[in-house]
Amino acid sequence: MINGLRAYWRGLRHLGGYGYIYVWANLAFVLLSVPVITMPAAWAGLCKLSYYAIRQPNANGDDFISGVKEHLGRGVLMAIVNAAIFGINAANLLTLEGQSIQTWALRVLWVGVTVVWFSIQFYLYPLYYAMESPSVRGALRNALVMVLINPLFTLGIWIGLILLWSVSSILFAMWGLLTFSAMAIIANTAVQDRIRKAGFDQASDKPSEISDEIFYGTH
């Protein structure tokens, strides 16, 4: 869990270097997410931008736009799947009545499924861009594996995200300016931390020494 919180903090530290790009991208994400069905593609754009911004000094808004375009069609399908999963889980939770052990066990099950699915979505596109031969199916599989073998690490990330959302709810403008970009940076930092931990450093497009510190906390 501590490692997850450390990865979370390293991600937040990167905001200062590219603040203006992340503000622009966050605003674009919010606008593209209004139809809801384009939200996954917008999230992919944020993840691609933050992936390259940490690695390359010349990253810009074009990375966000290209990420959105790459995943627009698949993102619509992902939005439909997300709606179905969250709708089914919400319906199951709302229909549960009583305080028996069985009822509480079912509540925990459906909440757990929702948390795991959100975690998979959180890691999906950072893993996609970290793959030598990117595929959404492969990234989904890897995201599930990452969640299952790193439950405490993911819990640490969740704690950090809840803190970020709490602060954003107090300073409401943060939702429009930085919150979602910060989430994308944290997702990339978390994924690269676990890749490094597993000993699967990418053979190409490796971070510079400066971004090594952001990704892994090395000096």
The predicted-structure confidence for 104-138, as pLDDT tens digits, reads as follows 888 888 888 889 999 999 999 999 999 888 899 99
The pTM score is 0.84
Which pLDDT does position 15 carry in this prediction?
77
- What pLDDT, in 10s, does the model give residues 69-84? 999 988 899 999 989 9
Backbone angles phi, psi at 186, to 5 degrees: -60, -40
Show the tokens assigned to 170: 């107090």
Domains in the chain: boundaries: 2-216
Which residues lie closer than 8 Å to 218 by C-beta, 6 or more apart?
212
Secondary structure class of 116 (helix, strand, coil): helix
CA distances from 153 to 8, 149, 176, 182 (A): 10, 9, 28, 18
Lowest mean per-residue pLDDT among 61-65, 123-127, 152-156: 61-65
Cα 159 to the center of its chain, rounded Å: 14
